[in-house]
């Protein structure tokens, strides 16, 4: 069993390296097998095709991504409040994306796949090899797990008073997550030297973080107050 796990890890690690250097489309299963130093037949024994391999890679990405959330959630036992956990999670997600770009991109790709999968018409556009992958089916079961931990962080913040009480934890966290995804995506344009903007990544990160914190704490007030507010805006 340990030998099989080692071979699976070797194949996945080789795939990650090739996807990073050559891109997904240009990488063939033969390339992965050669890089891993094993036969093509054995590679196909563990993964039916490249789509199946990519879904296995995505499953591993979600597992590692969830570990980042779990690690931050464990800090509540050290006295960290909900707002601080959410704030530090933002930094961890960005660091994770930079250090594991192939994994992070696979997570975003799966989120796009879900949009197609949830619609019977667009589901037909997904490659059947992807839908048949056992790893894709596992992803359907576990992809919510990081968000569940994030929602608990928001709930903790509401409980300890660091996040305003009228917010709904689930809506709030998914809004935050969409902001984090957008933040990471916009790092490229922000860091591009030819842009005609004064903003730079070194001052954007603290500014973004501060704005998110102020929205969660409620110090940014709308011009017209409502009796009950269940969103960040």
Which residues have CB under 8 Å from 208's CB, separation 6+? 90, 183
pLDDT, one tens digit per residue, over 52-84 is 999 999 999 999 999 999 999 999 999 999 999
**CA distances, 55 to each of 58, 59, 129 (Å):** 5, 6, 10
| Gap between the Cα atoms of 233 and 230, Å rounded | 9
Give Cα 216 to chain centroid, integer Å.
Answer: 21
* Torsion-angle region of 79 (φ positive above 0: left; ψ -120 to 50: alpha; else: beta): left
Query: Which part of the chain has CATH 1.10.10.60?
Result: 1-47
Q: Pick from 189, 180, 190: which is nearest to 211 by CA?
A: 180
Residue 74's alpha-carbon distances to 68, 89, 145, 220, in angstroms, are 10, 12, 15, 29
Q: Phi, psi (5° rounding) for residue 70?
A: -60, -40
**Dihedral of the alpha carbons of 69, 82, 75, 146, in degrees to the nearest 10:** -10
Length of the chain counted residue by residue: 233
Q: Quick one: pLDDT at residue 190?
A: 83
The ranges of the chain annotated as CATH 1.10.357.10 are 49-217
Provide the residue-wise pLDDT of the chain in tens; the chain has 233 residues.
445 668 899 999 999 999 999 999 999 999 999 999 999 999 999 999 999 999 999 999 999 999 999 999 999 999 999 999 999 999 999 999 999 999 999 999 999 999 999 999 999 999 999 999 999 999 999 999 999 999 999 999 999 999 999 999 999 999 999 999 998 888 888 888 766 777 887 888 888 999 999 999 987 654 444 555 555 55
pTM, rounded to two decimals: 0.86
Q: What's the CATH class of domain 1-47?
A: mainly alpha
CATH topology of domain 49-217: Tetracycline Repressor; domain 2 (1.10.357)
């Amino acid at each position: 069993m340990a030998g099989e796990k080692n071979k699976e890890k070797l194949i996945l690690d080789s795939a990650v390296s090739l996807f990073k250097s050559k891109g997904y489309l240009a990488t063939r299963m033969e390339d992965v097998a050669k890089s891993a130093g094993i036969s093509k037949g054995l590679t196909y024994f563990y993964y039916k095709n490249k789509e199946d391999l990519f879904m296995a890679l995505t499953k591993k990405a979600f597992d590692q991504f969830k570990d980042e959330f779990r690690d931050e959630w464990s800090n509540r036992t050290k006295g960290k409040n909900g707002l601080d956990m959410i704030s530090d999670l933002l930094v961890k997600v960005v660091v994770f994306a930079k250090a594991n770009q192939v994994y992070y991109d696979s997570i975003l790709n799966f989120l796009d796949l879900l949009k197609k999968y949830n619609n019977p018409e667009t589901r037909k556009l997904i490659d059947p090899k992807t839908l048949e992958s056992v790893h894709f089916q596992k992803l359907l079961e576990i992809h919510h797990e990081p968000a569940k931990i994030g929602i608990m962080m928001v709930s903790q913040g509401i409980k300890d008073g660091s996040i305003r009480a009228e917010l709904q934890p689930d809506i709030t966290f998914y809004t935050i997550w969409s902001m984090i995804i957008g933040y990471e995506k916009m790092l490229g344009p922000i860091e591009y030297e030819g842009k005609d903007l004064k903003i730079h990544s070194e001052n954007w990160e603290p500014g973004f973080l501060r704005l998110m914190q102020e929205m969660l704490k409620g110090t940014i007030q709308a011009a017209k107050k409502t009796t009950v507010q269940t969103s960040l805006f």
